[in-house]
Chains A and B, each alone.
Chain A
Amino acid sequence: MALLEAQGLVKIFGKLTALNYAALTVGENEFHGLIGPNGSGKSTLMKCIAGAETPTKGIVSFGGHDITQATPAERARAGMSLKFQITSVLPALTLYDNVLLALQAQTSLLALAFSRTRGVLHDKVMGMLEQFRLADRAYEPAAALSHGQQQWLEIAMALAPEPKLLLLDEPTGGMSIEERRVTGELLQPIKASCSLVIVEHDLDFIRDICDRLTVLDQGQILQTGSVQHVQSCPRVQEVYLRRA
């Protein structure tokens, strides 16, 4: 059974149809890339999956349950995690507190009031920061990080609660070539524990880490399949790859 299934998704904003019966299926431990020209509906599809937007029509199911009307918090509690396109770390808080904030989300309010899980979560927080090469800056404010490091911190925050599905919207946006390479390295190890849907413009990056690709154009699915299959599709080459 697929972990995530989005079927017949339509999203209309006023007179604009951002998604036109789009569909997406992601299996367990699968890295799935979403590509397409600007305005093709990639981010809208991600938002409909994550709960930031409610689709006008269609169904999103996660782990076999219909979550189309679920709030973002309910989806997060079900095991879905999102990294926004625009970096949204909390700049005034330390890196440590940013990750702790993500980790403690499912702790009861009473336990939070008495800081009961603080000790238990310490090793996890430091482990995540270590994994993303940020441990030596754990007690600095997130605002002090470079843009690329803020992106890593945000991926660390999204991964901290050990989600079943991670949604990354342009994680390498604004990064240097070296930072992109490192980001790819940082993401590879998570394959053992979670699935990934990633929106990216950098095709080399996508080719390196993804098992399957879906190409969107004008809100519709143009092609979906293995990376090799999609790359060799003449229609995809015509619409997207040659343009990129």
Chain B
Amino acid sequence: MTEITHSSAPLTTRRQGASRRWTVLPILEVALLATGLVLPWLLQDYLTVYATRVLILCLFALSFDLVWGYAGIMSFGQAAFFGSAGYGVALLARDLGIVSMFLVLPAGILIGFAFALLLGGFLLLGRHPASVIFVALGTLTGSYACDRLARGWYYLGGQNGIPSIPPMTVGSYDLTEGVAFYYVALGFLIAVYLLCRFLMRSQFGLALAGLRENEQRIAFFGYKVQHLKAIIFSLAGAIAGLAGSLYAFHEGFVWPNVLGVVISTQVVLYVLFGGSGTLIGAVIGTIVIEAISFWLSNSYQDIWPIILGVLLLLVILFRPAGLVSLVVSQRERVGTFGRPQGRG
């Protein structure tokens, strides 16, 4: 890549100033990673189990952040992909005895991807771009339909879901809830985070930024916007599928709620609370909401949902860019695409 040779002195100073400011995000990422790595050594066992669940939900939040925060597609039914993968791997374990991590997780990813491709194809691949409302209601309906289907289908366990899923295995080792599962979940979260970070900071991420900001404008540049949408929607479905598979084996059972509107809404709140369009925002939002919920439900057993609701409203009203905007500037949140940060 060639250097810019015609920059004026004030511009150089301005750029250096800009690159100096752009350091909060990596610091935040490293701090969270370090905390994540040492956490099981600091927590009691039951809290490690809770933290593992939160890590899996972080993974799920990343999937929603990709579609809404980066591509501007309002998917109000992300749980459909999360839950269908959870049910899929639960059936593999129950009916076929397949519990190897190297089989069930790819299967879960594939289920999430295929279902998202199917639903996304229907909602997004029309000749004319679909409206935000159409996609939001379409995905919401999809999630609700899956929930109702699972409740009414005896093979899927009806209202009770599928209990007592045998543990996932890695070779001859049973991966039950605890420290080992925690690190497996953390490993997947880091891998998916880095993959998303790589993509969102590439020229593909720039195309998504254009899609989010002004879909019509980029269509007139020649972008196949429907294809872009279907690809990111399916990729997010695959990530939700991975999260759903891990969730099913971690909890040991799946039930219709994992497909439904409540979890679909919950993931929207995670991302809005933390800051959509920033991967770290999705992770922070999930951790903070889950941590506050845990603490409030212990301390204020009757009124904790009200307190949490008010808190969410306050953040969304007064910090629409989410908690992450308290420490990360807008310029850094928008970021650069395919070039080192020092170059602008």
- B223 surroundings in chain A (CB, below 8 A): 73, 105
Which interface class (under 10, 10 to 19, 20 to 34, 35 or more) fits A?
A: 35 or more
Complex CA gap A49/B31 in Å reads: 54
Within 8 A of B (CB), among A46-75: 50-52, 71-73
User: With A77-B222, A104-B206 given, is the CB distance from A88 to B214 under 8 Å?
Assistant: yes
Closest to B224 in A: A73
CB distance from B253 to the nearest CB of A (A): 37
Main DSSP-derived SS at the B contact region: helix
CB distance from B170 to the nearest CB of A (A): 30
We find that the number of chain B residues with CB closer than 8 angstroms to chain A is: 43
Within 8 A of A (CB), among B188-208: 199, 202-204, 206-207
A219 at the interface (CB under 8 A from B): no
A210 at the interface (CB under 8 A from B): no
Complex CA gap A109/B210 in Å reads: 14
- B334 surroundings in chain A (CB, below 8 A): 92-93, 141
Query: Are B1 and A112 in contact (CB-based, < 8 A)?
Result: no
CB distance from A71 to the nearest CB of B (A): 7
B11 at the interface (CB under 8 A from A): yes
Within 8 A of A (CB), among B314-344: 330-331, 334, 336-339, 343-344
B57 at the interface (CB under 8 A from A): no
User: With A73-B222, A104-B206, A139-B18 given, is the CB distance from A118 to B339 under 8 Å?
Assistant: yes
Query: Are A101 and B221 in contact (CB-based, < 8 A)?
Result: yes
Within 8 A of A (CB), among B10-29: 11, 14-15, 18
Query: Are B225 and A73 in contact (CB-based, < 8 A)?
Result: yes
- B45 surroundings in chain A (CB, below 8 A): none
Complex CA gap A137/B344 in Å reads: 10
Closest to B330 in A: A92
Complex CA gap A76/B225 in Å reads: 13
A193 at the interface (CB under 8 A from B): no
Main DSSP-derived SS at the A contact region: helix
A115 at the interface (CB under 8 A from B): yes
- A123-152 contact mask (Cβ, 8 Å, vs B): 1 or 0: 100100010000111111100000000000
- A141 surroundings in chain B (CB, below 8 A): 331, 334
- A107-124 contact mask (Cβ, 8 Å, vs B): 1 or 0: 101011111111100110
Complex CA gap A117/B207 in Å reads: 13
Within 8 A of A (CB), among B204-262: 204, 206-207, 209-210, 213-214, 216-225, 227-228, 231
Query: Are A90 and B6 in contact (CB-based, < 8 A)?
Result: no
Query: Are B213 and A92 in contact (CB-based, < 8 A)?
Result: yes
Complex CA gap A140/B227 in Å reads: 30
CB distance from B328 to the nearest CB of A (A): 14
Query: Are B206 and A100 in contact (CB-based, < 8 A)?
Result: yes
23 examples of A-B residue contacts, CB within 8 angstroms: A52-B216, A72-B216, A73-B225, A88-B216, A90-B210, A90-B217, A92-B334, A93-B209, A93-B334, A100-B203, A101-B206, A101-B210, A105-B221, A105-B223, A106-B222, A113-B203, A115-B204, A119-B2, A136-B7, A139-B18, A139-B343, A139-B344, A141-B334
Q: Give the B-binding residues of A (Cβ under 8 A).
A: 50-52, 71-73, 76-77, 81-82, 84, 88, 90-94, 96-97, 100-102, 104-107, 109, 111-119, 122-123, 126, 130, 135-141, 157, 161
Nearest 4 pairs between A and B by C-beta? A115-B338, A76-B222, A139-B344, A105-B221
